[in-house]
Structure 1
C-alpha cells in the first residue's frame, strides 16, 4: 500500500529525469501548456488572491493573464529541476549568466545576498555555487522521497552548507565569519512569533522576518541584493547583482525591513510573472479578528 502511495512521486521524478535532456525553450513550451491547465485548478487560487491584492490597478482580464503567465513560469521552473539535479554543471554555467557581478569583488566585509523568491531561484543557487562558497537556510520537504532527492542534488553543489531553520542563526554567523556568502530569502510569512514585524508590501501590512538587518548588524556584513530572471525566448537565465546597500542597517529595524520589502516589490514589478505568487504571503494579519485573507471568494472560471 505504501508503495502505491509513493508511486506518483516516483513517476514525477522519472518524468523530470526524462525531460532534463530537452533544451530550455522546449521545457518552457511544456511549462506554458501545464501552467494554462493549472489556471483552472485550485493550484491557482493563492496566486489569484495575491495578484488581485497586489495589483488592484489591473483589470480583471489583466490579472487573469498575469496569473496564467505566472503559473506557466512556475511550471517551467519545476520542469527545469531535472536540469539542476542531473545535467552536467557545464550546462548550467552556459544557461545562467551574471550581470554586475563586479559588485561582489574586492569586498573586505562578509557578504549577504538578498535573494527573493523568483521562479529561477533554484538554478540561480546552482550557478552561484560555482563561484561563491555559500551557506543558506532551508526547511525539509514534507515528502521524504523528494526531500532525499533535493538533499542529493544539493550535494552536487560545489561548496554550499545548508542549515535547517530550527538550528537558528549561530551557524549562519559562523559561516559568514568563515568567509562564506550567505543567501537570505526573507519574503515569506513565517508567522508573528518568528522575529517578524509588520511592514508594507504592495501597500499591505505583511509579517516580515528581521533576519537580514539583524545578521548584517551582528556580523558587519554588506548586503548585496540579487534576482534571477528568465531571458527572452527562455534561452537561459540571468542573475543580476545590485550595488551594495550603504548605511545598512540603520538604528530603525522597521525602516531596514521596509527597505528590503521596497526593493523586492520594485523587482517584482519588473518581472511580475516570474515571482512565486503561490506562497500565502499575507496569511498572518496584524489584527487577529480580521477574516482569513485567503478565504476571499475567487471563482475558478
Structure 2
C-alpha cells in the first residue's frame, strides 16, 4: 500500500504534543517501539515528522534483503545495519538533533545486554537504548499503534518516557527502568503484544521458559 493510504488509516493520535515537543528538542529524540500492536502501520505516519534513522537486521537472502530495504526506505527513513556502523549512525543522528527508532525488547547477543527483570522474569535486555539516552541525554518517547475497537483504522499513543532512572549511569538501573516503561506500554493492551516473540529466552543461565 502507498504511504498516503497508511497515513489515512491513523484516526486518533493520543498526546501528539509529546512527540512533537521531543522532535523539536536539539538533543534529539529516541523513539521506543516494542513488539506491540501494529508498529509497521505507523511507519509512514511518524516519518512525516522527519527522516528517522532505524536499525534493521540484514537478511541472508541478498535479493529479498534489497527488496525489503527499498520498501522501508521509500517511507523517508534511513536504515542502518545492526552492527557497529549502525550504532555509530544512530549516535550521530541523535547528536545532530535528529531522531532514531529502536525496538527495545529484542533479545541481544550476551555482549550487548544485561539480565534485568521484565514482568518479574530475569531477561537478557539490550543496553543500546539506555546507553544512547545516557550519552546524548536525548528525549525518549514511546510509540505504539493499535487497531480501533470499531475496526475503522488505527490509533497511535505517544508516551513521554521521563523517568530519571532511564538516564542512570548504572546500566542495570537504566535497563530495568526501560523494561518498566515497556511493561506499562504493553499493559495498555496486553493482548496486542507479540508474545510469540520469545522475549524470555535469554537469561544467560540457559533456562528455557518455553519448554
Pick the aligned partner of 1:286 from 188, 204, 209: 204
Please state how far the C-alpha of 1:246 moved relative to its aligned partner: 4.7
Q: 1:222 corresponds to which residue?
A: 139
**Match of 2:160, SS?**
coil
1:276 pairs with 181, 194, 199, which one? 194
Deviations along 1:74-93, whole A, 9 cap, x unmatched?
xxxxxxxxxxxxx2322212
Contact 1:191–1:284 (Cα < 8 Å) also in 2: no
Q: Distance in 2 between matches of 1:254 and 1:141?
A: 31
1:88 and 2:6 aligned: no
Q: Greater helix share, 1 or 2?
A: 1
Deviation at 1:208, TM superposition (A): 0.1
**Superposed counterparts of 1:202-281, under 5 Å:** 202-247=119-164, 248-281=166-199
Q: Tell me the number of residue pairs that the alignment of Structure 1 and Structure 2 aligns.
A: 205
Shift of 1:276: 1.4
1:121 partnered with 2:39:
yes
Quote the Cα distance in structure 2 between the aligned partners of 1:168 and 1:150: 17
Selected match of 1:99 from 1, 14, 17: 14
RMSD: 1.9
TM-score normalised by structure 2 residue count: 0.88
Q: Counterpart of 1:233 in 2: which secondary structure?
A: coil
SS of match in other structure, 1:129: helix
- Unpaired runs of 5+ in structure 2? none
2:110 partner SS? coil
Could you say which structure has the higher strand fraction? Answer: 2
Q: Greater RCO between the two (CA within 8 Å, min separation 6)?
A: 2
Query: Where does 1:67-78 land on structure 2 (aligned, <5 Å)?
Result: none
The secondary structure found in structure 1 opposite 2:167 is: coil
Change (3 A) 1:246 1:198: closer
Q: Structure 1-normalised TM-score?
A: 0.63
Shift of the 155–188 alpha-carbon distance from structure 1 to 2, 3 Å rule, reads closer
Shift in Å, 1:143: 4.4
Structure 1 residues 168, 92: CA separation in 2 closer, same or farther (over 3 Å shift)? closer
**What residue ranges of structure 1 are gaps of 5+ in the alignment?**
1-86, 297-301
Q: Specify the alignment match of 1:189 in structure 2.
A: 107
Higher-Rg member (1/2) = 1
Say which SS state the counterpart of residue 155 (structure 2) adopts: strand
